[in-house]
Amino acid sequence: MENDKELITQPGLTFLDDGSACVMLWTPHLQGSAVYLPEKNLTLPLSRGQRGYWQLITTEIQPGDHYQILTDDGRKLPDPASLSQPQGVHGPSQAIDLNEFEWSDEAWQNPLLEEYIIYELHTGTFTVEGNFEAIKSKLPYLKELGITALEIMPVAQFPGDRNWGYDGVFPYAVQNSYGGAKELMSLVNACHDTGIAVILDVVYNHIGPEGNYLPAFGPYFTDKYHTPWGNAVNFDDAHSDEVRHYFTQNALMWFRDFHIDALRMDAVHAIKDLSPKHILQEIREAVDELMDNTGKTHYLIVECDLNDRRFIDPIKQSGYGMDAQWIDEFHHSLRVAAGGERNGYYSEFNGIGHLAKSYRDAYVYDGVYSEGRAKTFGTKTDNPGRQFVVFSQNHDQVGNRMLGERSSTLFSFETQKLLAGAVMVSPYLPMLFMGEEYGEDNPFLYFVSHTDEELIAAVRKGRKAEFASFHTEGEAPDPQSVKTFERSKLNWNSLDDPQHKVVLGYYKTLIEVRKQLPALHKLNRNQLNVEYNEEQQTLQLHRWEGAQHVYCLMNFSEEQRSTTLPLEPGKLKLILNSADARWNGPEQGLSPTVIQPQSIIIYIN
């Protein structure tokens, strides 16, 4: 490798058009390295290049071959950019050719971001089988529900076959127990054939604790900063150029080779980077270049709790250029307004007043003093509504509870419908968590399948400490237990129950209403007004588009409330009432100005 141009090759093992294999390894720590093929008992030395890169182009490696990296001290390790780990995180890597898959989605066009109605799922617990193939059988169901984008929790190879995915240690390898790379491609292809976009959750803020061989190859981490998971990923210390390249190429791989439509990047507030160009901006620029070359559209969505608009502002406005972000503050305000607990991080939210502010301003803490943080926090934002993802529950907010309770077991039946309605009428992108749409009763617990006994003990201890402020009674389910995992699977037989069928029908109607009414469908934050009554615990959201005005009346109290409508009742058309008998509610033809307890009414002019 004589020049830097050769350094832009994707890390790991890839197959070239002529069938030869190219191995690209970054390991400035080693004085020598080779590829070892255990089934052929063959050692292929790598050639040293610049800045710690080693390379090999050979016809000796074929798709399906297992291989290891042979270090100068005799160790045989998996490839740090392995695409496949069929024997788990400690086993050899497997050579696969991503170009062998035959796609049928050439005509697919990623919808506009404002068209996204997101459904978050965990591959292992979404179906009994717990794999990509089984998800495909549910795509017609999701399409009928009205979902336009499927968000898959992380699939990077993790220890064992039970994990949320945030303990992944091979960012390029697709979890073997889910079906591996080709089955993920098949799922994406099927989603596109069904008309559903695919969002993949990726983790660039840390690497899991078991099977993390990256430190053996180079300074992928730095002790300059510390995160909840230990030393930070090295995005701005010595040798950081190569680490940044590793993760940027990973993002490009998902888009280019797997046809993923959007990435959801986990907890980017935990990414430590003081470089002149933040790693997120670098990824943004690389993705923009890819889109220019392919004509395809891809989105970058982040989880970020800093309330800093810099993350979602365009690069030309000194931002990082992310397309959207999750907004937990809407969730927290909504749950408190609905009568949920007010301990832990919920203690910073007063309920209906903050919910109204989040409808209006997105961030609740937008340059105001935060008692919990003991400082002024956040920035004001006028970013468009399509840049914020809202929800009434997600994997974190359910799974980080000690008992993993869903809204279906924490709130009344009427409140569950109110929560769903409050999300769907927002000027933001709505997201459902798997099973929410029919009121799944099974919990979503935290589970792992580590093999290191000390690590297992540490996880159990850490789990108890994490939710100490939320729960004071009972024992946490064992994260390592298979039973904990099995209890977290969706119970699709629930759909045989009349009450669950009603909830599903209600969600379908809500989604259809959102799609059909321009005043709800268009995410214009400037055409919105919100009023609330703290004493009555009622909120009125008014949104409009052109001549159409939508009025959403919400009652979070346990009493009937009367309200004043903006127009004469005869000039308004009732679109939906969550308390209607159709939805097993208590409504019996009362006055249109009466809102039943814990309900939402939607009118249009």
Per-residue pLDDT tens over the stretch 406-416 = 999 999 999 99
- CATH superfamily label, 4-100: Immunoglobulins (2.60.40.10)
Q: Cα angle at 326 between 320 and 329, to 5 degrees?
A: 115
Domain boundary assignment for the chain: 4-100, 527-604
Residue 473's pLDDT is 58
Q: Spell out, as residue ranges, where the chain has pLDDT lower than 50.
A: 1-8
Q: Which residue has the tokens 């008998």?
A: 581
Residue 9's pLDDT is 76
Residue 357's pLDDT is 98
CB atoms within 10 A of CB 134: 16
Determine whether 303 is an active site residue. yes
Residue 563's pLDDT is 85
3-state helix, strand, coil in the chain (%, to 5): 35, 20, 45
527-604 CATH fold: Immunoglobulin-like (2.60.40)
For residue 60, give both structure tokens. 């000796």
Do 4-100 and 527-604 have matching folds? yes
pTM of the model: 0.96
pLDDT digits (tens, 9 = 90+) for 53-95: 999 999 999 999 999 999 998 999 999 999 999 999 999 999 9
* Cα separation values, 415 from 126, 315, 369, 539, 554, Å: 24, 41, 31, 14, 11
Residue 1's pLDDT is 39
**Please, what is the angle between helix 413-424 and helix 498-516, to 10°?**
20
**Of 592, 421, 452, 464, residue with least CA distance to 160:** 452
**Count of H-run helices and E-run strands, the chain:** 15, 30
Residue 567's pLDDT is 80
> What are the helix (H) ranges across 259-391?
279-294, 328-337, 352-361
Strands 66-71 and 368-370: unpaired
Residue 310 · residue 299 · CB < 8 Å: no
- From the list 266, 308, 437, 440, the catalytic residue is 266
Residue 204's pLDDT is 98
Q: Which positions ≥6 away from 202 have C-beta within 8 Å?
A: 154, 156, 171, 250, 251, 254, 263, 264, 265, 266
Cα separation, 278 vs 371, whole angstroms: 30
**Please, what is the angle between helix 279-294 and helix 240-258, to 10°?**
40
- From the list 201, 237, 261, 303, the catalytic residue is 303
